[in-house]
C-alpha cells in the first residue's frame, strides 16, 4: 500500500511537513550547492525540494510516476511536471546531470528496473541523490507521514541495490531525528533534535540519504521487447487524448 500524490502534497502543507521540507531541503541544497546550468530532474514526489533550484538548473523537471499520479508544478507559470512510466522515462540517454529520487524507491515494485533506467539517462559525470526511509528509524513505523509507507531500507540493503544497478554509493547522510509527530514542542526545535540525534543515535534517523555515481563501464540495460502498454507523458493537468495509452 502507498499514498498518492494528493496525500503527499497535503502532508507537506502541514506543520510537520514544512519542517521536513526545511530540514531535508537544507541537506539537499548543501550537497548540490553548485547546480547552475545542470540538467536536473526529480523522480517520485520531489517538488518540495526542486523549487530551490529554479532559476539555476536548466532544464528542471519533475517526473511523477503513474502509480502515484501527477500534479501541476509549479502553481504558476509553465508546468515543469510530467506523468511518466518509472521504467521507461521520456529522456534520451545520458541527458541528466542530477537526479533526485524521493518518495519513490520504497514504493516501487520494480526497484532494480527503475535504477537501471536512471542509469541510462544519467550522464557519465552525473549524480543520483536518493532519500529513503530508514528501516531502523521511528519514521518508518508511523503511518502518519509518507515515510511510513512502502519498504524502508537499511544502509546495507540500499548499497547492495545500488551496486546491482551499476551505481557506486559515494556519500552517506542520516536525517530526520525528531519524532514524527505534530507536537508543538518538537516543531519549535527541529535543529536541536537533529544535532542530538547525530550525537546519541546517529544510525536511527528517519531517512537515509546517499549520493551515487554511475559506473560508466556498465552494460546498457536491454529493454523488454514484449508487447506492453506504454504511458505517453503529458503535462500535469492536461487531459490526455484518446489513444495516448498505446500498445507498443
CA gyration radius, the chain: 18
**pLDDT in the model for residue 165:** 96
pLDDT along the chain (248 residues), means of 10: 87 96 96 94 97 92 94 91 96 97 95 96 97 96 94 97 96 94 82 89 94 79 48 51 41
CA 151 – CA 147 distance, rounded (Å) = 9
**pLDDT in the model for residue 242:** 43
CA 141 – CA 136 distance, rounded (Å) = 9
Q: Where are the domains of the chain?
A: 5-247
Strands (E), 199-242: 207-214, 229-231
Number of helices and strands in the chain (H, E): 7, 9
Sign for the CA dihedral angle at 27, 30, 35, 38 comes to negative
The closest of 143, 134, 142 to 202, measured between CA atoms, is: 134
Predicted TM-score of the model (pTM): 0.85
The closest of 87, 85, 80 to 61, measured between CA atoms, is: 80
**pLDDT in the model for residue 243:** 42
CATH architecture entry for 5-247: 3-Layer(aba) Sandwich (3.40)
- Is the separation of the CB atoms in 85 and 110 below 8 Å? no
Give the burial class of 101: count Cβ atoms within 10 A of its Cβ; 0-12 exposed, 13-18 middle, 19 or more buried.
Answer: buried
**pLDDT in the model for residue 63:** 97
**pLDDT in the model for residue 216:** 82
Sign for the CA dihedral angle at 9, 37, 129, 199 comes to negative
CA 40 – CA 47 distance, rounded (Å) = 12
Kindly report the backbone phi and psi dihedral angles of residue 210, in degrees, each rounded to the nearest multiple of 5, phi listed first. -140, 135
SS3 label, residue 188: coil
Amino acid at each position: 500500500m502507498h499514498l498518492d500524490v494528493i496525500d503527499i502534497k497535503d502532508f507537506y502543507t502541514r506543520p510537520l511537513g514544512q519542517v521536513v521540507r526545511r530540514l531535508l531541503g537544507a541537506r539537499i541544497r548543501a550537497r548540490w550547492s553548485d547546480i547552475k546550468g545542470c540538467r536536473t530532474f526529480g523522480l517520485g514526489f520531489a517538488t518540495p525540494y526542486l523549487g530551490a533550484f529554479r532559476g539555476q538548473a536548466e532544464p528542471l523537471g519533475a517526473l511523477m510516476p503513474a502509480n502515484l499520479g501527477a500534479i501541476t508544478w509549479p502553481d504558476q507559470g509553465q508546468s515543469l511536471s510530467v506523468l511518466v512510466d518509472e521504467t521507461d522515462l521520456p529522456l534520451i540517454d545520458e541527458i541528466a546531470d542530477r537526479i533526485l529520487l524521493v518518495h519513490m524507491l520504497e514504493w516501487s515494485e520494480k526497484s532494480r528496473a527503475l535504477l537501471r533506467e536512471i542509469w541510462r539517462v544519467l550522464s557519465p559525470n552525473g549524480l543520483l541523490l536518493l532519500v529513503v526511509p530508514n528501516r531502523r528509524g521511528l519514521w518508518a513505523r508511523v503511518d502518519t507521514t509518507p515515510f511510513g509507507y512502502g519498504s524502508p531500507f537499511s544502509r546495507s540493503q540500499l548499497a547492495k541495490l545500488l551496486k546491482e544497478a551499476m551505481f557506486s554509493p559515494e556519500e552517506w547522510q542520516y536525517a530526520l531525528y525528531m519524532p514524527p509527530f505534530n507536537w508543538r514542542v518538537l516543531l519549535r526545535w527541529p535543529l536541536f533534535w537533529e544535532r542530538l540525534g547525530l550525537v546519541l543515535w546517529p544510525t536511527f534517523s528517519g531517512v537515509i540519504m546517499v549520493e551515487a555515481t554511475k559506473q560508466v563501464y556498465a552494460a546498457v540495460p536491454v529493454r523488454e521487447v514484449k508487447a506492453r502498454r506504454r504511458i505517453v507523458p503529458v503535462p500535469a493537468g492536461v487531459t490526455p487524448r484518446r489513444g495516448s495509452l498505446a500498445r507498443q
